[in-house]
Amino acid sequence: SASNIAFFVLKSITEVLCSAIEKALSMHPGTPVLCAGGVMSNSIIRSELEKRYGAIFAQPAYASDNAAGIALLAARVFRKGVDVVAAK
């Protein structure tokens, strides 16, 4: 059924995210897991990441899309002094 397929897709996405988190935590043990973005608003994904990692989530009103993540990356690039126009 469509609902079973949707659930399987969400569980698959969750497992991919968990693999990425595990890799990050192996490189940076003890780092808190912070999540933001539209995908992280999904209750199935949120529940599993909270259970496995004690993940902390941005309020959906502040990070319902990639804006928060892109803003963070832009700030890092800006602080490094990268000329994004010249980098094209």
Name the amino acid, one letter, at 88.
Answer: K
- For residues 27 and 88, which has the higher predicted lDDT (pLDDT)? 27
pLDDT tens digits for range 47-63: 999 999 999 998 777 66
| Residues 72, 58: Cα–Cα separation, whole Å | 13
Q: Which one-letter DSSP state was computed for residue 84? A: T
Name the residue ranges covered by the structural domains of the chain. Answer: 2-80
HSE value, Cβ hemisphere, 13 Å, CA-based, for 10: 17
Report how far apart, in Å, the C-alpha atoms of 71 and of each of 5, 12, 59, 64 are.
33, 27, 16, 13
The structure's pTM equals: 0.68
Q: E-assigned strands of 1-88?
A: 34-35, 56-57
Does position 30 have pLDDT exceeding 60, yes or no? yes
Task: Name the one residue in this structure whose structure tokens are 């949707």.
Answer: 6
